[in-house]
Amino acid sequence: MVNKKPEWLIRKLPEKQSLNKMEEMLVSLSLNTVCQEAKCPNIGECFKNKTATFMILGDVCTRQCKFCAVTKGEPSSPDPEEPKNVAKAIKKLGLKHAVITSVTRDDLEDGGAGHFVNTIKEVRNYNPKVSIEVLVPDFTGKEASIQKIIDAKPEIINHNLETVAPLYSVVRPQAQYHRSLELLQRVKAKDTSILTKTGIMLGLGEKDEEVMELVEDLVNIQCDILTFGQYLRPTREHLPVQEYVTPEKFQYYKEEAEKRGIKFVESGPFVRSSYNAAKGFDTLQQKENL
């Protein structure tokens, strides 16, 4: 366990004016963002640039992951107006690439897949030119739920592995590494036109060889996009940081993952799965059009 943050993890406080304007709009539409709920270190930068990752299905999660700051407990029923309100917010912000995620809803029969589909439809109704990226939970491995998302044809389906396989019992006790891997594999097997994406946190005690094994697993299922970021402890009740990974090490992982066959890799201390999400999509679109 380490305590003092190194200099490369020190950032200026975000501008209050940018935060207030975005927060006012979100409140007016009864919306949540993962930026706020997960205490993302990039919130100031993203809100200033009028970007956000919208979190649907409420703000209470049914899982007890040891790294996440999102509220845990018994969630309320999904808001039927939420899909339309997300679409309105995206239009107000003038976004070209929209990222939509959710809390995990193991209490719902389909895990919330239908609500995701309704949101995708509403976003397209209001914003026909917007590319859509969904960051989904594992739906407890239910094929029918995953198929609903695939059939809605978002441009990117993202599902975060979060950490290496040996650490799942500690970091994600209600999740399964291979179940998450199979979700990404199923997307590619059903529709090769949809880009697949995942991300992991470093600094939880993973070993180099375990990270490389994860990368190889992703290469084998043709995952397109991978992000590496530094785990930061949200509160004292969460898992402690085992290591502050250097920028040089992040660069090493990026180069190794690309060398092994991942098409687009974003890697750095402040990288998060949805940070600069449009960049990965645009880059791969340009490569495809060459």
Report the binding-site residues for [4Fe-4S] cluster: 35, 40, 46, 61, 65, 68, 274
Query: Hey, what are 193's tokens?
Result: 């036109």
Query: Among residues 51, 57, 17, 18, which one has the least CA distance to residue 35?
Result: 51
Phi, psi of 230 (to 5 degrees): -85, 130
Query: Among residues 102, 111, 107, which one has the least CA distance to residue 145?
Result: 111
Distance (Å, whole) CA 142 – CA 112: 11
Distance (Å, whole) CA 187 – CA 182: 9
User: What is the 3-state composition of the chain as percent helix, strand, coil, each rounded to the nearest 5?
Assistant: 45, 15, 40
Distance (Å, whole) CA 179 – CA 201: 18
Residue 122 corresponds to which amino acid?
A: E
Within 10 A of 119 (CB to CB), how many other CB atoms are there?
Answer: 27
Residues belonging to the binding site are: 35, 40, 46, 61, 65, 68, 274
